[in-house]
Amino acid sequence: MRILLVNPPNCGRSIPEERYGITSLKQIFRGEPLALEALAGNLCQHDVHILDLKVEPDNLQNQLTTFNPEVVGFTAMTCEANTVLKLARKIKQNCPAQIVVGGTHASSDPEFFNRPEIDWIVMGLGKQSFLELVEALESANNIQIPGVAPSTPNTPLRWQPRQYHHNDLVNNAATRYDLVDSYRSHYTLQSLGLKMGLVASAAGCPYDCNFCCIAPLTGGRYLSAEIEAVLRDINALEQTPVIRLVDANSFGNPSHAWQLADAIEKAGIKKQYLADVRSDLVVRHPQLLKRWKEIGLRAVIIGFEEIDDTVLKQMNKENNAKTNCEAIDILHQLGLTIVGDFIISPDYTERQFDQLGHFVREQAIELPMHTILTPLPGTQLHRQLQSQIMIHDLDYYTLTNAVLPTRLDEELFYQRYASLLHEGHSKAKV
C-alpha cells in the first residue's frame, strides 16, 4: 500500500502574544518525527513516505497529487490536534485515502478524533497495531484490532484495549531514519548548532504524575528496548554527533541502562547524549550517571516540577525537594549539564515567581525550562480541574498558556513568566 505519514506543522496559539504583545515566548520546535520513522520501520512490505510539515509546511497537496496515498497517518500532540483535523478535512475533499491518527493526543483523548474526517484512531504504541491495521485494510477483512478504534461520529468510540507488551516495540524492525534524509539539516540542537538525532531506548513510565500524558502510551507499563536495537538506531544516525534519548524516563530500568552504556562503549560509539531522568534515580544510582558521563552523556533533563513538597505531593510526583537538591549536587559534581523542567501554576503569586527564580539561580541550573500547568485532556489533572478550565481550544495547549484562571492580573502573570524564561535562557548553553 502507499502510505503517507505526516508530521503536523508547528502550531499552537499564544495568549501572551495575542493579548499583550509579548512575542518573545513563541518558539519554533523542530526535531525528527521519530514516531513516524518507527512506524515506517515495521511497514517494510509497503511504500512509505514521511512528510514533515514542520520543515515544509506547504507540501501536503503536492504529496497527495504525486504519491496518491491509500493511507494517510498523522501523529499529533494536543496542541496539534485541531490542525490535524483541518488537514484531514482537506484531504477528504479530494483523496479517497483512509485517514489514521495516533500519538499522544489520540492515546489520551481518543474521543476527540471521533469525527467524519478521521477513519481510524490508534491508541498507545503503534508499530504493531498500525501494521495490523494496514494489512487488514489491504485484505478488506473485518477489522478488530486491540488498541485501534474505527471512528463512529455521533456514537461513542468502541474498541478492545491493547495490553501493551514488549512485542509492541517490534525491536527487529529498524527505525527508517533514511525517510527524513532530505530534512536532516533542519534537525539541529539550536543552542550549539549541532545536528541532533532522536533514539528511543524505552517506552512509558511506571509513575503516575497527575499532569502527565505518558502513561496511556503503554497502559502504565515501562518497556525497555533491546540493547541491539538501540545500538542499531544510534549507529544509523552516522552523521549526527548528538543523540537525544527521547524516553520519558530514560534510565528507568537501571540494569538495562548499565548494559546499554557497556554496549555503547564496547561498540566504540563516540557520541554525546541527552537523557530524561528522575532526580530520585540520580540519588539512588549516582554511579550509573558517572558511567554514562564516561560514555558521552552531556546533559540530563529532569522534571523537578516544583520547589514545594506540598505541591509535589498533590502532583503525585512521588519525589521531594530534598531529593531534587541532592540530585543537583551529584550532577554538578559529575559535570553534567542540567536542563530543569519546572511547572508554573496559574495561581502563582509574585512571591512564588520570586522564590522559583531564586531557587534556579541558587542551584545554578544551567537551562531551566518553565511550562505553565496545563490540564491536558485525559490526565488526572484534567478530571480534577475540568470545571475551572476557561480555555478549551486545544490550539492553546502548548504548555505556555494559562488555560486556567491566573491569580495575578493576567498580563502581570505573563510578564513574570516571560522574564523567568528569559533569565534562564540568556546564559544557557547545553
Residues near ligand SF4 (CB under 6 A) are 205, 207-209, 212, 214, 248-249, 278, 303
Decide whether 108 or 249 has the Cβ nearer to ligand SF4.
249
Q: Residue 167 and residue 175: Cα distance in Å, rounded?
A: 15
- For residue 209, the partner it binds in ligand B12, ligand SF4, none, with Cβ less than 5 to 8 A by kind, is ligand SF4
HSE-up of residue 305 (Cα within 13 Å, Cβ side): 25
Decide whether 209 or 231 has the Cβ nearer to ligand SF4.
209
Q: Residue 138 and residue 144: Cα distance in Å, rounded?
A: 14
In whole angstroms, the minimum distance from the beta carbon of 323 to ligand SF4 comes to 13
- Residue 73, interface with ligand B12 (CB under 6 A)? yes
Q: Tell me the angle at which helices 350-362 and 410-426 cross, rounded to the nearest 10 degrees.
A: 10
Q: Residue 412 and residue 358: Cα distance in Å, rounded?
A: 19
- Residue 98, interface with ligand B12 (CB under 6 A)? no
Decide whether 169 or 261 has the Cβ nearer to ligand B12.
169
- Residue 34, interface with ligand B12 (CB under 6 A)? yes
Report the candidate in 293, 420, 283 with the shortest Cα–Cα distance to residue 350: 420
Decide whether 52 or 366 has the Cβ nearer to ligand B12.
52
β partners of residue 150: 120
Q: Residue 246 and residue 301: Cα distance in Å, rounded?
A: 10
Can you tell me whether residue 171 is helix, strand or coil? coil
HSE-up of residue 242 (Cα within 13 Å, Cβ side): 21
Q: Residue 298 and residue 429: Cα distance in Å, rounded?
A: 11
- Residue 371, interface with ligand B12 (CB under 6 A)? yes
Q: Residue 196 and residue 273: Cα distance in Å, rounded?
A: 9
Q: Residue 394 and residue 396: Cα distance in Å, rounded?
A: 5
In whole angstroms, the minimum distance from the beta carbon of 387 to ligand B12 comes to 21
- Cβ atoms of 106 and 136 closer than 8 Å: no
Binds ligand B12 by CB under 6 A, chosen from 41, 69, 102, 424: 102
Decide whether 82 or 374 has the Cβ nearer to ligand SF4.
374
- For residue 180, the partner it binds in ligand SF4, ligand B12, none, with Cβ less than 5 to 8 A by kind, is none
- For residue 217, the partner it binds in ligand B12, ligand SF4, none, with Cβ less than 5 to 8 A by kind, is ligand B12
- For residue 131, the partner it binds in ligand SF4, ligand B12, none, with Cβ less than 5 to 8 A by kind, is none
Decide whether 99 or 289 has the Cβ nearer to ligand B12.
99
Count CB-CB contacts under 10 A for residue 187: 21
Decide whether 319 or 406 has the Cβ nearer to ligand SF4.
319
In whole angstroms, the minimum distance from the beta carbon of 342 to ligand SF4 comes to 12
Residues 6, 9, 14, 17: what is their CA dihedral angle, to the nearest 10 degrees?
180
Q: Residue 152 and residue 164: Cα distance in Å, rounded?
A: 24
* Cα-Cα end-to-end distance for the chain: 42
Decide whether 69 or 204 has the Cβ nearer to ligand SF4.
204
- Residue 198, interface with ligand B12 (CB under 6 A)? yes
- For residue 102, the partner it binds in ligand B12, ligand SF4, none, with Cβ less than 5 to 8 A by kind, is ligand B12
Decide whether 213 or 331 has the Cβ nearer to ligand B12.
213
From 72-80, 228-236, 309-317, 324-332, span contacting ligand B12 (CB under 6 A): 72-80
In whole angstroms, the minimum distance from the beta carbon of 119 to ligand B12 comes to 11
Decide the pairing of beta strands 120-122 and 148-150: antiparallel
From 25-33, 60-68, 88-96, 153-161, span contacting ligand B12 (CB under 6 A): 25-33
Q: What share of the chain is helix, strand, coil (3-state, %, to 5)?
A: 40, 15, 40
Can you tell me whether residue 142 is helix, strand or coil? coil
- Which stretches of the chain bind ligand B12, using CB under 6 A? 7-8, 10-12, 29-31, 33-35, 38-39, 54, 73-75, 77-80, 100, 102-105, 107-108, 122, 125-127, 130, 198, 200, 213, 217, 246-248, 371, 376, 398-399
